[in-house]
Chains A and B, each alone.
Chain A
């Protein structure tokens, strides 16, 4: 398997623009997680899905952030409008089971908002 795939790998945009990050989990994995990583806050869980259903979105910073998982092989994280403080590395991860199941991380998307 190719592992978790994320696109784009790098994104530079201007404040106010819409940003869409994409993730393809490992086939057969029922859980999908979106994380944000910054120097100040570390690795933060934003939202996670089980069988395409959002389970916990309490980590989503504000209404500007939204995530969808229309099917088992695709998820998006959208920021609209983007702000400079959204600059971070965004990781997607998947696991075959939630309880006690280790997560495979994608390579991440480095987002820079100017």
Chain B
């Protein structure tokens, strides 16, 4: 099942903060976050792994609540370059992982001057 992202879209002024949420109906092994600018390919931002390990972008942070099967991406002091569509990709826990991701429908973030 596809993870559910919220909100679907958000508009910010430069310097404002935003939170994007990603929820799954299944137990998760990891959550991946990607950003896609218009007409371009998705670009990796962050991985959060079961057990708490986190790897990613220095200016963006995220949390992973394994019990609630959800993750949140925190964008602080937003810049114009943050504009794009943010996708979470979930990797399910089968007692291991198969390595494939199921992506949410995305959250469109627009940062205005």
| Residues of B with C-beta under 8 A to A91 | 41-42
| Residues of B with C-beta under 8 A to A95 | 99
- Check A56–B98 contact: CB distance below 8 A: yes
Q: CB-nearest residue of chain B relative to A108?
A: B41
- Check B105–A98 contact: CB distance below 8 A: no
Picked from B34, B42, B55, B99, the residue with its CB within 8 Å of the CB of A97 is B99
Residues 27-68 of chain B, each 1 if its beta carbon lies under 8 Å from chain A, else 0: 001101010000011111001010001010000000000000
- Check A105–B43 contact: CB distance below 8 A: yes
| Residues of A with C-beta under 8 A to B40 | 107
A residues 14-69 near B (Cβ < 8 Å) are 31, 33, 35, 42-45, 48, 50, 55-56
| Residues of A with C-beta under 8 A to B55 | 102
Q: CB-nearest residue of chain B relative to A31?
A: B99
- Check B101–A55 contact: CB distance below 8 A: no
Report the Cα distance A9→B42, complex, angstroms: 16
Interface residues of chain A: helix, strand, loop or mixed (majority):
strand
Report the Cα distance A61→B31, complex, angstroms: 25
- Check A55–B41 contact: CB distance below 8 A: no
Interface: B104 (CB within 8 A): yes
Interface: B102 (CB within 8 A): yes
Task: State how many residues of chain A have any CB contact under 8 Å with chain B.
Answer: 25
Report the Cα distance A8→B20, complex, angstroms: 34
What are 30 pairs between A and B in contact, CB < 8 Å?
Answer: A31-B99, A35-B103, A42-B87, A42-B103, A43-B87, A45-B101, A45-B103, A48-B99, A55-B99, A55-B100, A56-B100, A91-B42, A95-B99, A97-B99, A98-B97, A98-B98, A98-B100, A99-B29, A99-B97, A100-B30, A100-B47, A100-B97, A102-B44, A103-B101, A104-B44, A105-B34, A105-B41, A105-B42, A106-B41, A108-B41
Which A positions have Cβ atoms within 8 angstroms of B?
A: 31, 33, 35, 42-45, 48, 50, 55-56, 91, 95, 97-108
